Structure 1
Amino acid sequence: MNEPPAPVTAISTDAVRTWRGLAGTAVLLDGFHALKHAVRFGAQIPVALAGDRAAALRLAEDLAPDLRDPLGALLVEVTDETLRALVPRIHPTGVVALAIRPSRTANLETLARTPRSAPVVMLDNPRNLGNAGAVIRLAAGFGATGVVTTGTLDPWHPTVVRGGAGLHFATAVERLDVADLPPGPLFALDAEGEDIRGLKIPDDAVLAFGSERSGLSGEVRARADHLVSLPMRPQVSSYNLATSVAMALFHWSSASGREFGGMDVRGTDGTDDTELDTDPHV
């Protein structure tokens, strides 16, 4: 297929001007897959740039043929020099975009709505940005209602969005106080809890996971309706946070009879450089 010509300089100039006007408030989508997922899940994307537009569209034909035309309409080609002036580093795919963050009001309405058809994942004072991004990616894959965090970590930090591969737009992601958690029975993951294999996790559950280093806070533990443990070989101290979330969501989805499509085992854009803390306390 012949690629359309690269946009003219005037269009590139307008795109850069738009970027500079939004860079302080918009969500940075770093790489082809982040842009792909954001488009698929309805993100509002005012500007998307590529160092090699034709190469990006060939990637779309290979990995996301359903989005080839929408991405062709979005992507504007700019020089690598321009990209280096706009972003901290150029992604290996040479693709970057800005998206409008979803309304907090709309996300809170989604999280508060009952009955729910899928749990909410709650991270209690997480510390590692990459871990938070990986959890959001998992939650989106399992169709969770949302991911909420407590504490100081911003779940929309660029590093978290990068780890989530643009899938923040596929689920409701917000930071909340413990007192404002969504309704529903609170199942808190803790080594002293009941084995999850003997429990049924309801669709309206809130699944709480403790900080990578200090575990569940006293406030969350006091509010928990159930303390739940994951099966673990003796003398193994812990699982990675994202692994723990995956195990709990898989247990829920298996019991609920959820069906999912095929899995793309490739990492983000052929690479997966998300840094995951390897010693979470859950």
Structure 2
Amino acid sequence: MKVVLEGFHAVKHAVRFGAVVETVVVLDRGEAVAFARSHAPDLVEWFGERAVEVGADEFVRVIGKSHPTGVGAIVERPRVEFGERGAPLVLLDNPRNLGNFGAVIRVAAGLGAGGVVSIGDVDPWHPNVLRGSAGLHFALPVGRLGGVEELEGEVIAFDADGEDLRDARIPDDAVLAFGSERHGLSGAVRVRADRIVSLPMRPKVSSYNLTTSVAMALYHWELFRRAS
């Protein structure tokens, strides 16, 4: 299956993490190489050799829309496997906001999570999710589960009613479960959870953004992992 990457940074990340690129199109090869020279020196040669310069109409035909960086690519969607993990797996329970979904993948990649999976009807490889991740789908496994029965390992769910995260330790092979932005954790995930923890929050503040919550949880895991 093929997926479309929009923009220089999405293509940059995909290439760095081993994506199989079918074609990369640019509106101006010289500008694309110059952009690589300033933002991704490791890929200057790659863009110089692989980029195909096309007109604006052809760019839209291939990528589906224009992009300010004038860069886009068609790549193969990788097969995803979730085996033994040395880092927590992030579970999104029926996420609804595609941009937030992509941002979660981006922060999970940056903090070295073992992968990002979802339960629900949203395709984790939807173009809007890809756009939000800036191509970092290729930095870690990203997929969708059929239900909570497929989860393996200790499930730590995040909810305001749980124990304070600062008093908890997250094992390397844990599953960190986060509810949807509007409805929170589903009953099925809540029942499956081995522990429920809460993020520290100042009184009168109602909630955090989903991406912020995932970042806080993964940073907590990484901080105490380094200290141990």
Q: 2:182 aligns with which of 209, 213, 219?
A: 213
Corresponding residue of 1:172: 141
Q: Which runs of 5+ in 2 are unaligned?
A: none
Corresponding residue of 1:11: none
Please tell me whether the aligned partners of residues 148 and 192 of structure 2 are also in contact (alpha carbons under 8 angstroms): no
Deviation, structure 1 residue 87: 3.4
CA RMSD in angstroms, aligned pairs only: 1.2
Distance (whole Å) between structure 1 residues aligned to residue 159 and residue 124 of structure 2: 23
1:68 paired to 2:25: no
Deviation, structure 1 residue 235: 1.6
SS at match of 2:213: helix
1:31 paired to 2:13: no
Distance (whole Å) between structure 1 residues aligned to residue 47 and residue 140 of structure 2: 22
Corresponding residue of 1:14: none
Please tell me whether the aligned partners of residues 148 and 189 of structure 2 are also in contact (alpha carbons under 8 angstroms): no
Distance (whole Å) between structure 2 residues aligned to residue 72 and residue 92 of structure 1: 19
Give the percent of matched residue pairs that are identical in Structure 1 and Structure 2: 57
Deviation, structure 1 residue 192: 0.2
Select the structure of larger CA radius of gyration. 1
1:141 paired to 2:117: no
- Segment drifting more, 149-158 vs 86-95: 86-95
Superposition TM-score, scaled by structure 2 size: 0.96
Corresponding residue of 1:269: none
- Deviation string 1:249-268 (CA, Å, 9 cap, x unpaired) is 0000001018xxxxxxxxxx
Please tell me whether the aligned partners of residues 4 and 63 of structure 2 are also in contact (alpha carbons under 8 angstroms): no
SS at match of 2:42: helix
- Deviation string 1:66-116 (CA, Å, 9 cap, x unpaired) is 11112222210001122133334311100000110001xxx22xx2x22x2
Distance (whole Å) between structure 2 residues aligned to residue 154 and residue 165 of structure 1: 16
Q: How many residues align?
A: 227
Superposition TM-score, scaled by structure 1 size: 0.78
Q: Which amino acid aligns with 1:52?
A: D
Distance (whole Å) between structure 1 residues aligned to residue 26 and residue 169 of structure 2: 47
Q: Which amino acid aligns with 1:60?
A: A
Deviation, structure 1 residue 180: 4.3
1:83 paired to 2:52: no
